[in-house]
Amino acid sequence: MSGLADQRTRPVSRVKPATLFSTVAVGAVTASVVASGGPAMAEPDYPSWGEIEQAKQNEQTKQAEIARVGELLTGLQRAADAAVQASMMADEAWRVAIDGLDRAAERERTLGRQADEADAVAEISEMRAGLLAAHLARTAGDDLTTELVFAGDDSQALLQQLGMASQLGLQANGIAGQAIAERNTADALRAQAADAANERERLAALAETRADEARAAADAANAAVAAQDRKSEELYAQLASLKDSTAELERQRAEGQAREAAEAAAAAAATAAATATAAAAAQPVPPAAPAPPVPGGSGGGAPAPAPAPPDSGAVEAAIGFASRQLGEPYRLGGAGPDVWDCSGLTKVSYANAGISIGTHSATNQYYTLAARGLSVPVSQIRRGDLLFWGSGGDYHHVAIYLGGGRILEAPREGVPVREYFIWGSPSAAARPAG
């Protein structure tokens, strides 16, 4: 089987648990998978055992039937892989929604705290203004003016008293104005906190929706994989009968060919990237200002400086931690101690090495590391680097590269943390320990 669907848990309790990750793409793919219980496709015409036995009577017919069974097995694999990829994308959409919810909740807390502090300041100013106004009411007003009219020889002293009252009045006006401004600030912050609470509630509902979509996509992927297993078991038995072999041997042969194809594809991609980099380096650099980097680090233009080698101590600490989680189950939102998802495993593994790589999201982890200048071409990956799968700047899966074409990953629901060969075509890489 391929790296996506080769074995057989929902969001860790939280919310069940920015623009969200590829919302339209996820919705479209998930809808096609969920609506039919698997990727939209016509039901294949599977051979009967009678047809297999009849095909064995003629070499040409037998070879044609062998090719037909092989195509059916490939189609089953593609259908399962498509459903699994849709599930991975839906999982990442939930993680990105949770990222947005976390930011909104933090903004609500910050604005609420600032509003409380502004309220306290405004109340003190209002109290000072009130006390000063009361004092002026007692010592000034009509009584002081009347005394000035009948003061006689004491009029100079009363004039001085009136001047002091005027100054106090100006001071009171200033304090009152300050109190009004501070109250306005507190009210504005309180209104912003209320808006932030509304946004947090909206994103909480959206996260619930994304969790439901992730559950549905995972169910569809499990159903597709189960259908693949059920159908392929008979197809491998039929293939073995046609080739005078065994079903297990034919399955192992197919899995080996899939592994070799994946490794060859990864090597070809790395070679192509290295060739493009070398070709770019051979071109004279124009005097114009360089273009901004393309997410993923594989764009054209002047080559980036060679990435620094990783800190081997940090790499081994991260890999050592991740290796101790081998065999533990996948759970969307899992970040230990005994359940994991892809970005939860990478996040905690590198945190164990003293390195923060971003939030609990593959997309965020890539862009966090890229912003630090730690993205690397896929063609130059080293042990401990992170590989990212995705397209269009969105990444739905991340794994730790071990070297020798192998990775350590928490792949998907039903498949535990494992060491595996590089499957598919990773689209970006980063070096946390660089």
Question: What CATH fold (topology level) applies to the domain 297-434?
Answer: endopeptidase fold (from Nostoc punctiforme) (3.90.1720)
SS3 state at 390:
strand
Worst-scoring range by mean pLDDT, 190-199, 209-218, 247-256?
A: 247-256
For the stretch 336-350, pLDDT in tens is 999 999 999 999 999
Residue 375, token pair as written in the block: 């993205």
Give the full edge-to-edge strand order of the sheet including 418-421.
Answer: 375-376, 428-430, 386-391, 394-403, 406-409, 418-421
| Pairwise pLDDT comparison (13 vs 324), residue with the higher score | 324
Average pLDDT over residues 46-59: 91
Q: Where are the chain's structural domains?
A: 1-245, 297-434
Q: Tell me the HSE value of 330 on the side-chain side, using a 13 A CA sphere.
A: 22
Rg (CA), the chain: 34
* Predicted TM-score of the model (pTM): 0.69
Residue 162, token pair as written in the block: 């009136």
Worst-scoring range by mean pLDDT, 4-8, 341-345, 368-372, 399-403?
A: 4-8
For the stretch 93-152, pLDDT in tens is 999 999 999 999 999 999 999 999 998 998 888 888 778 777 767 765 545 455 544 444
Q: Do 52 and 65 meet the contact criterion of CB atoms below 8 Å apart?
A: yes
